[in-house]
Structure 1
């Protein structure tokens, strides 16, 4: 492992001029670029929750070698053009569709897929038998009274059994109520649900402050981080801060940028929801 003591010792492919343009990124553009890095990072043992299907000696070492082999093939295109847009317009259209929004209708297909996911998760021990019984009760025209009472009060939620994708609540909306009443009622319901659930502090933010991410040097930081993990090199915070153009120094950088990157690379769900809202708003304003 080599320690990088000077910006001049960073790899030849790196240069801040390649990141011009991201100061004007909206949520959709940030989502596209972070998604490119997300898939480069998630196979690494420090980020991946994957477990081997069979017993493998020294699994972390095996996974690291596999990750490095895959990254060496996929990373060069990102390093060559780190802000290339290969599908932002398609992503924007998909996010603007009803299916891509954080608030949307529950369809028959939605519930059918939930029943299917519950069945798969149950076989892997990730779904309790009681959750499966609710589908039996729903599908039975004359369920046994005790079976009905056992699950009748269970809220319906859409669960993906994926740590990076939080569950979605299913609610009823009385369309006879006025908009003002519905907004107030939803705010009250949401406050109650947030209090009942243990949520990450990042999820409590109303909006991700992506306007600051360019100044943080978020994308160049992630690209150098991936390179350092791939090669086994170590880049001290003060060198990293200088390299990515973070002006407040290494100590401030250490407290800000790595934490933000870890939160985003653990889940892009919050940014995706924000991008969907912005894409829908753009569509309405077009």
Structure 2
């Protein structure tokens, strides 16, 4: 693992005054900004895990991050969006378009190349021997399609779909669905929150604690594989503020940012806006 270099100067792109418009953001603006950043965070994390630096995905991710950092408060839709039907129903059937899109994404994904080939073998298999041979190379066939979609489109809030046995009694279906959806929401980082919705007080607090510029500095540092010390974060975010700014950063900025830039927060803001 490459050791991160600790920097002592802010990057040239950073300008705290660019974030002044955040003071007037409401639910819709925060939702758009958080959605892009959650996706970019996932993309940068993927590059870090794979130690990739020169491939096409790395170039596209770097371009998207630079676009965000140049205009951090602009409404930019930079992440890929799943082809979800425009429907307000909380529970609905999956469309043929969505099935075909998901299948196409799986077929093109490098992780599932062998699974797709094994699936084709299974379709043509005439006996159990061929089927077992295919399964031996296709452990990924039993992966959760919902979890794949969440990894493919992180932060999109895309619906997930479940197979339901309609012949079962309604009471058992409700219990089973409750258990399944609780697990599905937990897997995507969106548990059942006690907070019903965010309000202007929350948005003002997020701005006062500078959670957005903090997140952007952290995102850039992860992309460049450098370490930003606490004192430099404090100088960047609260240079014109008096008082215990170090304490504000440690007790408020960092923990609040960890709650804001999540799928759970996205889901709640999406429902509001």
Scaled by the length of structure 1, the TM-score of the pair is: 0.55
Q: Secondary structure at the match of 1:229?
A: helix
1-structure distance, mates of 2:258, 2:54: 22
Aligned-pair CA distance for 1:123: 5.0
Counterpart pick for 2:188 among 164, 188, 199: 164
Are the equivalent residues in 1 in contact too, given 2:44–2:223 (CA < 8 A)? no
Deviations 1:204-242 (A, max 9, x none): 234342221111111211111111112222111222022
Counterpart pick for 2:271 among 265, 271, 276: 276
Partner of 2:165: 134
Counterpart pick for 2:69 among 60, 65, 79: 79
Counterpart pick for 1:258 among 229, 250, 254: 254
Q: Secondary structure at the match of 2:165?
A: helix
**1:241 is the counterpart of 2:234:** yes
1-structure distance, mates of 2:171, 2:197: 36
1-structure distance, mates of 2:255, 2:53: 22
How has the CA–CA distance of structure 1 residues 232 and 132 changed in structure 2, closer, same or farther, with 3 Å as cutoff? closer
Partner of 1:92: none
Deviations 1:129-158 (A, max 9, x none): xx85614x2xxxxxxxxxx46x75221468
Q: How does 1:1-286 map to 2 (within 5 A)?
A: 1-5=4-8, 9-45=9-45, 60-62=49-51, 68-86=58-76, 99=88, 104=89, 106=91, 110-112=92-94, 123-126=141-144, 132=163, 134-135=165-166, 137=167, 148=168, 153-155=172-174, 156=177, 159=181, 161=184, 163-164=187-188, 166=190, 199=191, 203-208=193-198, 209-245=202-238, 247=241, 248-267=244-263, 269-277=264-272, 279=273
Q: Secondary structure at the match of 2:61?
A: helix
Aligned-pair CA distance for 1:29: 0.5
2-structure distance, mates of 1:14, 1:133: 50
Aligned-pair CA distance for 1:105: 5.6
CA RMSD of the aligned region, Å? 4.0
How has the CA–CA distance of structure 1 residues 2 and 29 changed in structure 2, closer, same or farther, with 3 Å as cutoff? same
1-structure distance, mates of 2:50, 2:164: 41
Aligned-pair CA distance for 1:2: 3.0
Are the equivalent residues in 2 in contact too, given 1:238–1:251 (CA < 8 A)? no
Q: Secondary structure at the match of 2:213?
A: helix
Are the equivalent residues in 2 in contact too, given 1:38–1:265 (CA < 8 A)? yes
Are the equivalent residues in 2 in contact too, given 1:217–1:244 (CA < 8 A)? yes
2-structure distance, mates of 1:124, 1:210: 42
